[in-house]
C-alpha cells in the first residue's frame, strides 16, 4: 500500500512538472502582433543617438525599449545586438502621472569604439503601448 501511495505521489508530481514545463510567460517580451507596440514608441529614443541602424537592428532596439519599459526592474539593462552595433536600455523606477505609469529610461548604443546615449521618458497607455514624452 505504501509503495502505491509513493508511486501515486510521484506520478502526480511528475504530471504537474510536465504540465508546468509547457507554460511560457510573456513578461518582458513583446506581445504577439508587436507592430502596434513598436509603432507606438514612435521611433523610440534610439533614433536620438544618430546611429544608422538597419531595419532589423531598429526592430531589436525598439523591442528592447519596450521590454525595459514594460517589465524590467529599475536599473536592470535590457540588451540587444545587431551585426555591427549593439545596445542596452535601462529604465528607472516607475512613477505616476495622473492615472498613467511612466518611466525615465536611457538607451546606449555601441558602434565599434563609439558609444552614444539618449535619455527620455515614456508613459504606458491603457492598451499596453508606451508613448514617449517629448
CATH of domain 75-134: 2.20.130
Span 15-32, pLDDT tens digits: 333 333 332 233 456 666
Look at the pTM and tell me if it is higher than 0.85.
Answer: no
Cell of 6: 509513493
- Number of Cβ atoms within 10 Å of the Cβ of 58: 18
Contact 122, 131 (CB under 8 A): yes
Indicate the domain borders of the chain: 75-134
Of 39, 56, 57, 34, the C-alpha closest to 107 is: 57
Q: Is the dihedral of CA 42, 48, 53, 56 positive or negative?
A: negative
Which residues of the chain fall short of a pLDDT of 70?
Answer: 1-33
Span 60-80, pLDDT tens digits: 999 999 999 999 999 999 999
Amino acid at each position: 500500500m505504501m509503495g502505491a501511495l509513493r508511486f501515486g505521489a510521484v506520478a502526480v508530481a511528475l504530471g504537474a512538472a510536465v504540465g508546468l514545463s509547457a507554460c511560457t510567460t510573456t513578461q518582458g517580451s513583446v506581445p504577439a502582433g508587436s507592430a502596434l507596440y513598436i509603432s507606438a514608441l514612435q521611433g523610440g529614443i534610439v533614433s536620438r543617438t544618430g546611429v544608422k541602424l538597419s531595419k532589423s537592428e531598429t526592430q531589436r532596439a525598439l523591442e528592447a525599449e519596450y521590454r525595459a519599459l514594460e517589465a524590467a526592474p529599475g536599473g536592470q539593462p535590457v540588451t540587444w545586438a545587431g551585426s555591427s552595433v549593439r545596445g542596452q536600455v535601462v529604465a528607472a523606477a516607475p512613477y505616476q502621472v495622473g492615472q498613467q505609469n511612466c518611466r525615465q529610461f536611457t538607451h546606449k548604443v555601441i558602434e565599434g569604439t563609439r558609444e552614444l546615449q539618449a535619455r527620455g521618458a515614456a508613459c504606458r497607455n491603457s492598451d499596453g503601448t508606451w508613448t514617449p514624452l517629448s
